[in-house]
Structure 1
Amino acid sequence: MLSFLLLSYSKSVRQSIQKISNDEASHVSFLTSALQAAGVTPVQACKYSFPYTDLKSFLTVSQILEGVGVSAYLGAAASIKNGNYLTAAGSILTVEARHNAYIRFVNGLSPFPAAFDTPIQPRGIVTLAGPFFVSCPTGSGPGLEGFPSLTISGKLIPGSTLKISAKNTTGATYCGFLSGLDSTFTTYADGECKAPSDGKVGEGQIYVFLTSEKSVTDATTIAGPGIIETENAVMNPIDTPTLTPASHEPENATDLAIGI
C-alpha cells in the first residue's frame, strides 16, 4: 500500500488492481471448467517473467497486456462456432475491456481512445505473449508458433520516421498498421518506415507488422506485431489522494512489509 501512496495513488487504486486480479482468476477457473465439461484437458500453468521493476512499470505492462487480451478475444471470435461459447467469451471480453480502460485512466491516458478495438489473430497474440514465457509443462506451451518479435523506436506522428527491427526481416516490404478495424501500409526499407498520413491510424494501442504484401495474414506476415501508443487526449490520473506519505498510517504491518 505504501508504494501506491508514494506514487500519488490512493488506496482505492490498489483495491481495484486486486479486483482485476480476482476477475482474472475467475476467468481461468471458468475456462478450465468449460474445457473439462467439453472433454478437453486444460493446459497447466506456465512460469512467466514480466518486465517491471516498480509500481509505475507494473501498471504500464498491465495496460499493454490488458489491451492485448482484448485484441486476443476479438481475434478469436470469428473462430468460435458454438453460440454458447461465443457468448461466454464475449462476457469475458467486455470485462477485459473495462480492466484495460481503468488501467489506462490510472496511467493518465484516455480509457476509450478509439471507437473500435483491434482484433489480432492467434499467431500475432503468441508473438506478443511469447517473451513472457519462461517454461511450461510438457504439452502446455502455446500450440502455435509466433512470428519474430519487433522493436519499434520513434513517435507515431503522421509522416514521422519509425525505426523497426526484427531478427528476420527477409521479404519484408511494408509496415502494416492495425488500428481498430482499419489497416494501412507504408513502405519498409533499410530498417525504417514512415508513420501513415492517411488518417487510418487512430489513438490508443496500435499494432505494427512487417509484411510482404499490403495485407496482414499469417501468409504475408514476416515479423510482429509490435506495439506503439498514439495518444492525443491525456487524462488526469484517477484518485489522487489527499494524504501525504508522512501522514499515512498503515492499516497493519503487512502494508509496509510487502511495500505494495
Structure 2
Amino acid sequence: MRFHSLLPLLLISTLPLPFTIAHPSPIKRLNPADADSQILNFLLTLEHLERAFYLAAPQKYSAQGFVTAGYTISDYGRFRQMGVHEASHVEFLESALAAAGMDRVQPCVYSFLDNDPRLFVATSLMLENVAASAYNAALAYIKDKAYLAAAASIFGVESRHATFVSGVPLASNPWNTAYETPLSMNQILTLISPYTQQCPASNAALLPASLYAFPQLNIDAHPTPSQPIDLTFAPPAQPLGEGEGLFAAWISGMGVVVTQVEGEGTQVPGDMADRGAVYVLVVRGSKDMSNLRIDDASTVAGPAFVVFPFGGDA
C-alpha cells in the first residue's frame, strides 16, 4: 500500500484524557441519584466477563499445557488467583448494589476466542488493561465516597494484574506510560463486545441509555513504529462531507498522537515505541484539523488494542 501524503505526527494534547479524548460520558447526563448505580452496573458488566474468562481457563488448559507453551507453573497459579480476584470484585459490586436497594445486571453469555495458552495470555493482557482504564475513568464520576474508595482499590488490583501479565509471562512492559489511559464507557463496551454473545434484556435498563459499541477496528496487534499499517473497518454510516477526512488516533496515557488515514491504512507514529498498551481509534474531522476532536462523537471505528513492547535498551 502506498501513502502519498501522510500527515505529520501531531501531539494533540498532554492534558488529562477526559478533556481531550473521552466524549462526555453517558454518565454525565444522568441524574446524580442514578449515576452511581449505572456506573457500578457498568463495572459489574465488565467484572462478570473477566470472572467468566478466568474461571473457564482450568477447564481449557492444564498447568502442563502452560509449561509446554513456555510459561511456568507459577504463571498458571497466578492466573487462577486472578480469577478469584475477579469473582471477589463481582461479589462486592453485587453486594454494594443490593445494600443500596439497587437492581443489578446479570451475567451475559460469553464466547472467548482463546484456544491455546498463548492466546489466553494475550486476551488476559487486553482485558486487564481495559479494566484498569474503565476504573480509572469511573473514578471521576462516582459520587458516593465509600463506592469511590472501593473502586479505587479495585482499580489498583486491575493495574497490578496488567503489570503481572505483561511483565512476567510475556517478559515485556510492566507498565505502559507514566499514566494510565482512561476510556469512555462506549470505548470499553466496544473492546469487550467481541466476547459477549447475548445479555439478559433486563440489563439495558440498568445501564446508561446512550451506551453503545462502535464498529470494530481490526489492526495488527503488534504494529511497528514508523511503518505503514492496514486498517480494516466499515465505512462511516454518514458519508464524509466535503473537506472531511479520516484520522487514526493513537491513545496512550494522557496524550493522543494522530496520523492521517489514506485509503485503507496509515503510518504508525514513530514515538509509539516502548509505550506498551495503546488504543487506536478511527475518527473523522476536517482535513485541515481545525475542528478535529478525539471523542465519541467523532469516532468511526474502534478502539483497537495494540501493544508496543519495550526495546532491549529501554
Shorter chain as normaliser: what TM range?
Answer: 0.7 to 0.9
Q: Distance in 2 between matches of 1:54 and 1:156?
A: 22
Cα–Cα, structure 1 residues 211 and 67, in superposed 2: closer, same or farther, change >3 Å?
same
Please tell me the residue identity of whatever aligns with 2:301.
A
The Cα of 1:158 is off from its aligned counterpart by: 3.6
Cα RMSD after superposing both structures: 2.1
Q: Does 1:26 find its partner at 2:99?
A: no
Change (3 A) 1:155 1:53: closer
Q: TM-score, normalization: structure 2?
A: 0.69
- 8 Å CA contact 1:155, 1:162 repeated in 2: no
Higher deviation after alignment, 172-181 or 16-25: 172-181
- Matched with 1:231 is 309
**3-state SS of paired residue (1:219):** helix
Amino acid in structure 2 at the alignment position of 1:121: S
Corresponding residue to 1:68 among 106, 110, 130: 130
Deviations 1:64-98 (A, max 9, x none): 11111111111222221222222111100000011
Shift of 1:193: 1.3
Q: Match for residue 146 of structure 1?
A: 213
Correspondence for 1:85: 147
- What is the alpha-carbon distance in structure 2 between the residues aligned to residue 175 and residue 114 of structure 1? 20
Alpha carbons 2:274, 2:310 under 8 Å: kept = no
Alpha carbons 1:208, 1:226 under 8 Å: kept: yes
Shift in alpha-carbon separation, 1:156–1:12, aligned structure 2, 3 A: closer
Q: 1:39 to 1:168 in 2, by over 3 A?
A: farther
For residues 234 and 45 of structure 1, do their structure 2 counterparts lie closer, same or farther at Cα, with a shift above 3 Å needed?
farther
CA distance in 2, matches of 1:155, 1:161: 12
- Any idea what SS the aligned residue of 2:133 has? helix
Q: State the distance in 2 between where 1:215 and 1:232 align.
A: 29
- How many residues were matched structurally? 234
Q: Is the 8 A contact 2:281 2:300 kept in 1?
A: yes
More helix, by proportion: 2
1:221-256 C-alpha deviation (Å, 9 max, x unpaired): 111101111113469xxxxxxxxxxxxxxxxxxxxx
Runs of 4+ off more than 4 Å = none
Unaligned runs of 5+ in 1: 236-260
Indicate yes or no: 2:246 matched with 1:173: yes
Question: What is the deviation of 1:200?
Answer: 6.6
CA deviations over 1:151-191 (Å, ceiling 9, x no partner): 11385444321211212334451111100110121111211
Q: Percent identity?
A: 32
